[in-house]
Structures are given as structure tokens and as C-alpha cells.
Amino acid sequence: MSKFGRNRRTLAIVGSVAILAGGAGVVSAQGDPGPPPPNMQGPITLVDRPDATEGEALYVEKCIMCHGPVGMGTGLLARKGRSPAELEKRGDLAAAFVVLAARNGIGNMPAVPRGEVSDEQLQEIADYLAAGPHGGDQ
């Protein structure tokens, strides 16, 4: 084998070892993520609300990840001065407005297509929100 061939082979082996070693560091760094930061609330799911009505259950399933206590939509509404920013705690939402905002999008909120939420489901959610405010610590 020529000197060039040996150097090339050595370089390939060293490179492979470096890649594997680097990858091992990434795997170990991604292990246990540890506890959440103090005072950080986890997501609200249907497990938290076993007695949810149809509209409430759909809201929890389809909307609360953005419009709940730790959602991006809640933060954006709060910065715009909407109070309360959590949709469930508001008492000024008309069902027709909720449907219109969801289907067409509003501000930073994208439109919600019928493939994700049917017209019937959206009406249930809208009626639930229009009947608000709901809950104190939700």
C-alpha cells in the first residue's frame, strides 16, 4: 500500500471515531431532561378535565395548547392588552366571532382548516366560549 493510501485510511478511521464520539456526546446530553423550571405549568389535557362537556372537550383537544395558560396565543393577546387573555376566562366572545376568527385566522393565529376541525366541532367550541367565562383556575 502506498504512503498516500495509508494516510487516507488513517484519516478515515480518525474521522469515523471523531464522528462516533461526538454523536455519543449528543446522545448522553439528550438523556433525562430533568425537572421543568420552577412555577412552570404543564399542559392541560382531557385527563385534567374528565367531566368536560363536548364543547369544552373539543376546546381542550384543539385549542388550549395555544389559548390556555401557557399558550403562545394567550401571551400574544396579553401583550395586546386583551384581558383576560385566556379565551375560557373571557365573557365577551360571540360564537360567530370565534368561528370567523378560527376559519379565517386573525393576527398571528393561522386559519383552522375543516380537515383539522369540522364545522360542527368549531360550532361546539364557539358555543362553549360564548357561554363563558369558565372556571377560575383553568
Given this model, what pLDDT does residue 84 score?
Answer: 87
R_g over Cα of the chain: 25
Given this model, what pLDDT does residue 135 score?
Answer: 77
Given this model, what pLDDT does residue 103 score?
Answer: 97
Element (H, E) at 35: none
The length of the chain in residues reads 138
* CATH 3.40.50.2020 at 54-130, yes or no: no
What ranges do the domains of the chain cover?
1-34, 54-130
Given this model, what pLDDT does residue 42 score?
Answer: 76
Q: In which residue ranges of the chain is pLDDT below 50?
A: 26-28, 138
Closest CA to 62 of 114, 26, 25, 12: 114
Given this model, what pLDDT does residue 132 score?
Answer: 94
Angle formed by the axes of helices 95-104 and 119-130, nearest 10°: 130
